[in-house]
């Protein structure tokens, strides 16, 4: 009886390992948990920022800007393997016009959202360095 139970447990665990490997092999889980945390941080950063986002000449406040970036993120998710890919594909430029998006922050020069989010990503990574 114990051998049967052990066999069942081992078989079940093997099936789980194979399923997880299959998900990774088929690109259904391209990102590491660190990338997921970074992307969530950047989305929250956009959503709660005092800055607005200029998309093709129309200015959007944080919540609406983050919603648009999330929509593009879902569209490009299978191509995104790093947080930098996320910034490039989801938050840098219009896929329709090809024009850059810009961050408009009070008291600061207009900056591309690519540079704005890359700077925030660097700050976030530096603040999370484990000693």
Q: At what angle do helices 83-90 and 113-127 cross, to 10 degrees?
A: 160
User: What residue numbers bound the domain in which 46 lies?
Assistant: 31-125
Report if residue 14 sits inside a domain.
Answer: no
Please state the domain count of the chain: 1
10/64: higher pLDDT: 64
2/6: higher pLDDT: 2
C-alpha Rg value of the chain to the nearest Å: 20
CA dist 92 and 101 (Å) reads: 6
pTM of the entire predicted model: 0.74
pLDDT band at 85 (very low <50, low <70, confident <90, very high): very high
The answer on pLDDT for 4 being more than 70 is no
Report if residue 113 sits inside a domain.
Answer: yes
């Amino acid at each position: 009886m114990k051998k049967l139970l052990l066999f069942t447990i081992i078989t079940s665990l093997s099936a789980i390992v194979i399923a997880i490997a299959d998900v990774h092999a088929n690109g259904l889980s391209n990102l590491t948990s660190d990338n997921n945390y970074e992307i969530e941080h950047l989305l929250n950063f956009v959503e709660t920022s005092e800055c607005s986002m200029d998309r093709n000449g129309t200015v959007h406040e944080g919540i609406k800007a983050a919603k648009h970036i999330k929509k593009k993120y879902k569209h490009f998710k299978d191509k995104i393997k790093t947080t930098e890919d996320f910034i490039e594909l989801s938050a840098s430029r219009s896929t329709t016009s090809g024009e850059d998006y810009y961050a408009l922050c009070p008291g600061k020069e207009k900056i591309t959202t690519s540079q704005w989010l890359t700077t925030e990503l660097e700050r976030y990574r530096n603040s999370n360095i484990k000693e």
